Amino acid sequence: MRTEIPQFAIKPLLAIRSGRFWLSPVVARLSPRHGAMMASYRHEQEGRYEQALEVWAELKAQNRTREQSLRHTLRRAKLEYKAGRFADAVRDFSMLHALSPGDARVAQGLESAALRAARQAQAEGRWLDACRMWAEFGRVTAKREKCRRNLRDCARYVGQSAETTQQIQESVEAWGLLRTIDQDSREARHGLEWCHAGLARAAERNGDTTAARRHWTALLEVAPGDRRAQEGLQRLDSGER
Q: What is the CA radius of gyration of the chain?
A: 25
Model confidence pLDDT, tens digit, residues 149-195:
999 999 999 999 889 999 999 999 999 999 999 999 999 999 999 99
pLDDT at residue 204 tops 60: yes
Q: In 10 A of CB 197, how many CB atoms?
A: 20
Mean residue pLDDT across the chain: 88
pTM for the full model?
0.82
For residue 38, what pLDDT is reported?
81
pLDDT tens profile 4-49: 445 544 444 444 454 444 445 544 454 556 777 888 888 888 899 9
Instruction: Specify the pLDDT at position 40.
Output: 86
**Residues of the chain with pLDDT > 70: what percent?**
85
End-to-end CA gap in the chain: 68
Per-residue pLDDT at 92: 97
Instruction: Give pLDDT, residue 161.
Output: 84
Q: Is the pLDDT of residue 3 over 70?
A: no
